[in-house]
Structure 1
Amino acid sequence: MTTTSTAASSGGSTQQEGVLVRTAIGFTAWAERWFPDAFIFVAIAVVVVAIAALINGASPVAVSVAFGNGFWSLITFTMQMAFVAIGGYVVATSAPAQRLIGWLADLPKTGTGAVGLVAAVSIIASLLNWGLSLILGGLLVLALAARRELRMDYRAAAAAAYLGLGATWAMGLSSSAAQLQANAASLPKSLLPITGVIPFSETIFLWQSLVITVVLLVVSVIIAVWSAPGPNTAVTAEAMGIEASREDSIKVAPPKQPGEWLEHSPILTVLLVLLAIGWVVNEFSRQDWMIAISSLNTYNFMFIMVGLLLHWRPKRFLIAVVKAVPATSGVLIQFPFYGAIAAILTQAKNSAGVTVSDQITHAFVSMSTQHLFPLVIGIYSAILGFFIPSGGGKWLLEAPYVMQAANDLKVHLGWAVQVYNAAEALPNLINPFWMLPLLGVLSLRARDVVGFTFLQLLMHLPIVLFLLWALAYTLEYHPPVIP
């Protein structure tokens, strides 16, 4: 049974639903028919960007060379993102997390209330770690879907689980741009003189940033609840042929051979975690804590070690890792293509030495003034983010132009980073790339949820741009601090 046929069979009841529900269902029906698979999406993006480079005057050879050179350019970041997903999955599938998920799944009394709960959990978790947000949100959806009496719309709940990635992740501790700017060692030498070091206190911990985050949390949850179909029109997991369960999916058989006893003993876990604690304590004692938490490798290390501790026994931990790997498959195969897109945009030059990225950047920056900067750069970042869904990698491409413009226009440098962060998350709502780990957990396709997330995008876009513009008036420019 397909989602389309199920929704169509209940079409007569949709007239009784609110306008947001009808709009979300309409977008979803369109997406189910026309939205491509995530890999097809990135392949189309490669072709579009390549054609744009040719139109810009780059030679076919230059475009091809950029494509090949860029294919592996994000390999380190690819592995970091894969480990974010693995770390989040391992922590979320631990016994303590499963008990938390079970407790949360018992709270809602209605299917629409369940969707709102998923949205809130996803957004709050994203402020800590976007991988945890995806996996924890997905597992909560499965637990709620097992409560068949709720008649929760599985698609709307899945979209709600994705809101952390489309609304707030870049405003939290796992913000790649904020992390890069807070650590001098992470910044390219060419960028450091332009931006200097910008601590978290001037980016994600600004009260203006917290205002945007709270507003997005409230708005996103409201939209998720109001756009979720009611019990008469909901497409449940059961209707989609998806088996949802609240049971612990990790089953560990008892040891059968003497050589297996260490796999089932916590001895090695305790020793490894003690070593990890020593390293973490050293990291946080030798430098400011804001710098210590600014490394994505540190995040991944801590999440993996916490996951190992929560699973307690190595065997259970390893099973969790194995189960996490399929959720990273889309990341592993598609990120190289996004690296190629970035390379074509920034390396395929015409006879004047100008790339497509240069053309886009200079066009937007030339239209900007000090007060229009947040709007212009916000729109630009959102558009480019649709083609390059990479928080840290994309920032390294944009930062030289964007931050130089911020200096020239006397715009608060930390706010310039936050303009990027808030706007960069917006295209995630309709770009299937970041959906991949969640879709793997929920056995869904991007087209199943993009109708609901597109509705969120329509609501978020004017709110985010307005707040970025209005709050900029409360900040003053300070020259870059260069260590």
Structure 2
Amino acid sequence: MNRLAHRFSKMVERFLPDAFVIAVILMLLMMGLALIMNPSEPLVIVESFGDGFWTYLTFTMQMVLLLMTGMALAKVPFIQRFLSRVASLAKSANQAYILTFLVSSFAYYINWGLAVIVGAIIAREVGKRNQQAHFPLLVAAAYAPTVLYTAGLSSSIGLSVATEGHFLQSVIGVIPTSETIFHPGTMTILIALVITMPLFIILMAPKKDIIPFVEKEKKVTSRQKEQKIDSPAMKLERSKVWGTVTGLIGLIYLLVSFWNGRDLDLNIINLAFLSLGLLFHQSLTQYAEAFKDAASSISPIILQFPFYAGIIAVLGSSGIAESIINWITNVATSDTFGVFTYWTAGAVNLLAPSGGGQWALQGPLQVAAGAQLGVNHAITAMAIGWGDGWTNLIQPFWALPILSVVGLHIRHIMGYCILLSVWVGVITTILIYFVY
């Protein structure tokens, strides 16, 4: 297995292009397919792409802030010290892979935005202490639990259908989380993946040509040089008062909002991360530097998300998505519908790597198809969610932030992720059939 993984990884490194190139190629392929299906409407296809290009601009900014505030929070010294102590628990290469996967899995269960940061830091810290561990595989182990977020507390689909006033409420009603993320079938799949995925990662671990973690030299910025100057301005910037007070104001607002019955959403999470970051960093200058360091890691998401928004618009307006789902309705039965929905969601996720965006596109069509076969709406929702998480392993978009933090390219980890996705697909397909 490790020989297969090594050869496959080397092949992927050679042939896999940059993630932005992949996004543009997918866009052109979808527009070409849409033109084949609608040969008399080339301008309509272009118009739908352009109209959809900025559809998720608000969501994009929320994602950017979520990642940047999360990264800045993770740079708080006592949090880094805690993760360093956890990383020191791994005494061998195999322990390094397992520990990295489990810590990242816990973070993904809590919040997938925070998990990107925690995964990057724990992989880097574990890599520092385990030079016998293959660092690209460590990073793959940190990213692999992305498949689990569907069953977690930040599940976009699971939380969406449980929220009063969601866009499909008139069709499926409000589905409680006891029927989605806390359903026994969902928990069974979650536990099975948490147990078996790290074992599969260990089997892929290379025995030779190991690439260890290498610490990059840190450049001293002009701001850091200036801080050596003792002046009133520098004292004001280094003061612990302003960050502490600002952070407390934000936290007070959060408490009042929850007291008044506000639900957890992306805006609340962003404000919580921002406020905690300011409170713990204390110095405004220190927080600004941490925020600035995070900025370069987020640029790929800002660049690529509009292209995927355009792809989602083309999928919907051209009838491609509807054709795929109609095909499923024709071949599936009430027993196999969940499996076919899972496979379809995995395929759609490659073109539309956003849980919320995919649910908006696929949800109405898939729910209607399931209703014709008498399938429970909660099962349809979770099958779409599991499919979305599954092919996150081979859709490079959400791996970009963690790769930017650790200094690797997508091609360094994708060979391992593709092989792991095969295992996840087999296990989840079998379990969806039996447990839902």
* Other-structure match for 2:216: 243
Amino acid at match of 1:313: S
Matched, 1:333 2:303: yes
8 A Cα contact 2:346 2:387, kept in partner:
yes
The 5 Å alignment of 1:406-421 reads 406-421=370-385
Inter-CA distance 269–75: structure 2 relative to 1 (3 Å threshold): same
Structure 1 outlier segments of 4+, above 4 Å: none
CA distance in 2, matches of 1:283, 1:222: 43
TM-superposed deviation, 1:120: 1.1
- Kindly indicate which of the two structures has a greater share of residues assigned to helix: 2
Which digits, 9 at most, give the CA deviation of each residue in 1:85-112, with x for residues without a partner? 1122122211121011210221111123
3-state SS of the aligned residue for 2:110?
Answer: coil
User: Distance between the aligned counterparts of 1:141 and 1:77, measured in 2?
Assistant: 28
* Counterpart-to-counterpart distance in 2, 1:302 and 1:324: 17
Where do 5+ consecutive residues of structure 2 fail to align? none
Match of 2:357 among 393, 398, 402: 393
| Residue in 1 that maps onto 2:286 | 316
Equivalent residues of 1:137, 1:162 under 8 A apart:
yes
**Structure 1: any 5+ residue segments left out of the alignment?**
1-18, 349-354, 473-483
Tell whether 2:54 aligns with 1:72: yes
CA contact (8 A) 1:127 1:169 kept: yes
The 1-side partners of 2:378 and 2:247 are apart by 36
Q: Which moved more, 1:270-279 or 1:202-211?
A: 270-279
What TM-score does the superposition give when structure 1 sets the normalisation length?
0.84
* Contact 2:247–2:277 (8 Å) recurs in 1: no
Q: 1:212, 1:244 → 2: CA distance?
A: 42
Contact 1:91 1:132 (8 Å CA) reproduced: no
Shift of 1:44: 0.8
Shift of residue 425, structure 1, vs aligned partner: 0.8
Q: Verify: 1:292 aligned to 2:263, yes or no.
A: yes
1 CA distance for matches of 2:270 and 2:152? 15
Q: Distance in 2 between matches of 1:386 and 1:433?
A: 9
Q: Which residue of 2 aligns with 1:225?
A: 202
Q: State which of 41, 53, 56 in structure 1 corresponds to 2:37.
A: 56
Are 1:426 and 1:457, in contact at CA under 8 Å, matched by a contact in 2? Answer: yes
Distance 2:124 2:44 in 1: 47
Alignment partners' CA distance in 1, 2:238 and 2:177: 41
Q: Which residue of 2 aligns with 1:214?
A: 191
Structure 2 Cα separation of the partners of residues 178 and 385 of structure 1: 17
- TM-score of the superposed pair, with normalisation by structure 2: 0.93
SS of 2:100 mapped into structure 1: helix
1:211 counterpart letter in structure 2: T
1:257 corresponds to which of 215, 226, 231: 231
- Deviation larger for 55-64 or 264-273: 264-273
Residue 171 (str. 1) matches residue 169 (str. 2): no
Q: Do residues 376 (structure 1) and 368 (structure 2) align?
A: no
Shift of 1:233: 3.4
Deviations 1:55-107 (A, max 9, x none): 11252111111121111111111111112211221222111210112102211
Greater mean deviation of Cα atoms: 274-283 or 451-460: 274-283
Query: 2:370 and 2:253 mapped to 1: Cα distance?
Result: 38
State the shift of 1:278 in Å: 2.7
**Following TM superposition, by how much is the alpha carbon of 1:331 offset from its aligned partner in structure 2, in angstroms?**
0.4
2:20 corresponds to which residue? 39
Deviation at 1:237, TM superposition (A): 3.0
Q: Does the 8 Å CA contact 1:23/1:455 hold for their aligned counterparts?
A: no
Does residue 271 (structure 1) correspond to residue 245 (structure 2)? The answer is yes
SS at match of 2:335: coil
CA-to-partner distance for each residue in 1:220-247, whole Å, 9 max, x for gaps?
11112221224x4312234xxx6389xx
> Following the alignment from structure 2 to structure 1, what is the Cα–Cα distance between the partners of residues 230 and 161?
51
Aligned equivalent of 1:30: 11
Structure 2 residue aligned with 1:304: 274
Maintained 8 Å contact 2:244/2:280: no
Quote the offset at 1:266 in angstroms. Answer: 2.8
Q: Is 2:165 the counterpart of 1:194?
A: no
Partners of 1:325 and 1:263 in 2: CA distance: 21
1:135 aligns with 2:117: yes
Cα distance in 2 for partners of 1:269, 1:175 equals: 31
Specify whether residues 307 and 255 from structure 1 end up closer, same or farther in structure 2 by C-alpha distance, changes over 3 A only: farther
Question: 1:207: how far off?
Answer: 2.6
Pick aligned residue for 1:461 from 390, 401, 425: 425
1:112 to 70, 94, 97: 94
Q: Counterparts of 1:153 and 1:314 in 2: how far apart (Å)?
A: 38
Q: CA deviation at 1:341?
A: 0.5
